[in-house]
Structure 1
């Protein structure tokens, strides 16, 4: 009966989600049904849910999510993202396919102030795609570059994805941020290298006259935007890693810096307010998901499911590498049907105790998991990154199949970096060891 309650809960969560019910509500309904089956008493069930909801949403660390989200969207609306893109393009004058490489570089730097991959995808769809189309970049190559590099925001700190992982596993947010730095730089470098090689090996991906690769000059970037974003990154992340701020305090300082930058860049109070409202639309579903996931985790703990999962993996006798491989396969399979945050909330409470038992470093496991789940953002048929880019790009001729074709190399590169982090743990642990 104990195991049945958790199985019924999980079945309800998946079933309701596939029927179109919001995943947060599916978590709540499934967890409620499972807890009632476990105790057979509504007063106990509702009491547990009430306590879980109260304890979950009053967590001080949760403030990091809305603060970083508002900070990133204010910076995006200020025009600083365009400044980053134009500056990268101007710096890479001798590089083939420099608009594509500038998109990767701009996304990497933008990721350091947003933490929200969807925001990066929507922003660079408007900024980078029109000049790429104008200068002869093939649609699948351009759209794939924008969607693929947008996921850097899930890895490069201050990633909201990392914050959620840290909360679920009770790890240090600051150390997890530090762990993502080198893999994030490696992944961005790999993306840029691919764009250059692809343009050289397959010249037909860029048919414009301005290149051997379409290298136009863009409007000159505003140095205020570049310096402002740099100052915010250094102050926020440097303060967190240097021990001057907690992540929550650092996010508040970063938000203040973003507001100042917004006013300097001539944003109105109404525009800043609209950015805050848009951030609320992004953050509210995440917080609701965390609430539902907290209830789901409580059910799993009370039903002893993590212990059963651990026993199951022990019985398979796969060894640490085999166990991680099975987890990665499950994450990739779920990525075909469920969004990345939901995948994390469904699986991390089950996989985390098993990973600890294998002896894998917590930061290494976190980054491998984040990278593989990140690949799910690009996985057909429901890769959210592809849909965001398709809806945001101002090109009615662009097809979803073209976006997924363009995304395929980025999906592979993400998995390559995940393998590198597992095989070379110092990629994830070196920077945190300096803190």
Structure 2
């Protein structure tokens, strides 16, 4: 009976989400209602909601999210992202489609200090897109590169998605961070290779800049900003890799370093407060989601829903391949409707135990899942990164169809990278095995 109640609540949850309810509200409502139906007491259900909120927020792991988001906001508002782009552009002057490759390289490095794809998409829409268009790059190609490469922010640490996944599965945040490094680099190389090959096959899509563009020397401020971001990457990722910091400490020191960089780049009180407000606006809804998700996880546990759903999956037949394929389909469909964090909160409490029962490595499965969910950032009709790029590019002629079409090859490459990780789990497990 309890398992049936949970299944009804999961169905009601899907209906509420499709009707437009905020995912946190839908999670909380269905969780409270489900526990009430199982326990027969509304007071017990509300008490569990309160205790879930307390237990969720008091965990020191949660402080990692606002700190890393704040670090990214300091860097973004300081203008260092633009400096990084200009340096990458100049270093890649002999590469075909160099502005596109510089966008990929800039996003890969910028991802290591933001952890949020939306931040990368917003920043490079204003930095890279106008530059590419000024030099004659095709519109769809330019916005596609910006949107596609922004997705690196959800895999390369410090990724907010990896933090949320670690919290839900009680995994090590640091271990998942390190596990995302090699797949993130591989994906960035795939993106860059596509940009180069496409530019060589279609020179009209990405014409080479005039030779005069390479003569103007870089300004000292641009070099300083780029080196500052590199220093933050070494501080955060190097500190985690070397065992100097745990994730919370790395987030704290990284935020202080980003503030120092921002002040050195000219940020003052007003800009600093704007970055803090921006980080609060980003992390507030995430915290609310995590509280509701904790309640949702308790509902699943109390009702034995995981075992029930696990039996349904195993009853499909076809073994691991079929079950993983079903997970991919569910993730991609959800990616067309809701944001990535909500997808993780809805599915990971169910899918992670099933993956363990199948004998899949938990770390590799986490990276695989993040990659598939990441592809959802580019899928219509929702495509959070696509909408961010559409809203951020200073070009009213850009339509959603241009961004979706231009970013489609990147979506395919993300799914290929996900399949590589699930087929060769060592891509995700090797670095953590060396470090931890």
> What is the TM-score when the length of structure 2 is the normalising length?
0.96
Alpha-carbon offset, residue 207 of structure 1: 5.6
Alpha-carbon offset, residue 240 of structure 1: 1.5
Matched residue SS, 2:380: coil
Q: Does 1:2 align with 2:2?
A: yes
List aligned pairs for 1:330-345, cutoff 5 A: 330-345=330-345
When structure 1 is superposed on structure 2, of 84-93 and 235-244 the one drifting more is 235-244
Alpha-carbon offset, residue 217 of structure 1: 6.6
Q: Distance in 2 between matches of 1:329 and 1:296?
A: 22
Alpha-carbon offset, residue 320 of structure 1: 2.1
Q: 1:361-411: CA deviations, max 9, x gaps?
A: 111100110000000111111111100000000100001001000011000
When structure 1 is superposed on structure 2, of 222-231 and 341-350 the one drifting more is 222-231
Residues 138 and 207 in structure 1, CA contact (< 8 A), matched pair in contact too = no
Would you say how many aligned residue pairs link Structure 1 and Structure 2?
Answer: 433
Q: Distance in 1 between matches of 2:92 and 2:115?
A: 25
Q: Does 1:70 align with 2:70?
A: yes
Q: 1:111-131: CA deviations, max 9, x gaps?
A: 000101110000000100111
Gaps of 5+ in 1: none
Aligned to 1:83: 83
Matched residue SS, 1:295: helix
Residues 149 and 191 in structure 2, CA contact (< 8 A), matched pair in contact too = yes
List aligned pairs for 1:95-134, cutoff 5 A: 95-134=95-134
Aligned to 1:233: 233
Alpha-carbon offset, residue 162 of structure 1: 0.4
Aligned to 1:434: 434
Residues 89 and 217 in structure 1, CA contact (< 8 A), matched pair in contact too = no
Aligned to 1:244: 244
Q: Does 1:368 align with 2:368?
A: yes
Residues 8 and 30 in structure 1, CA contact (< 8 A), matched pair in contact too = no
Q: Distance in 2 between matches of 1:217 and 1:357?
A: 59
Aligned to 1:166: 166
Matched residue SS, 2:244: coil
Alpha-carbon offset, residue 331 of structure 1: 0.6
Q: Distance in 1 between matches of 2:338 and 2:260?
A: 38
Aligned to 1:30: 30
Matched residue SS, 1:187: helix
Residues 157 and 177 in structure 2, CA contact (< 8 A), matched pair in contact too = yes
Aligned to 1:393: 393
Q: Distance in 1 between matches of 2:92 and 2:77?
A: 25
Q: Does 1:302 align with 2:286?
A: no
List aligned pairs for 1:350-429, cutoff 5 A: 350-429=350-429
Q: 1:207-247: CA deviations, max 9, x gaps?
A: 67748xx9897964622212211111111221122111110
Aligned to 2:54: 54
Residues 96 and 215 in structure 1, CA contact (< 8 A), matched pair in contact too = no
Matched residue SS, 2:378: coil
Q: Distance in 1 between matches of 2:215 and 2:148?
A: 22
When structure 1 is superposed on structure 2, of 103-112 and 263-272 the one drifting more is 263-272
When structure 1 is superposed on structure 2, of 413-422 and 37-46 the one drifting more is 37-46
Residues 90 and 217 in structure 1, CA contact (< 8 A), matched pair in contact too = no
Matched residue SS, 1:222: helix
Alpha-carbon offset, residue 313 of structure 1: 2.0
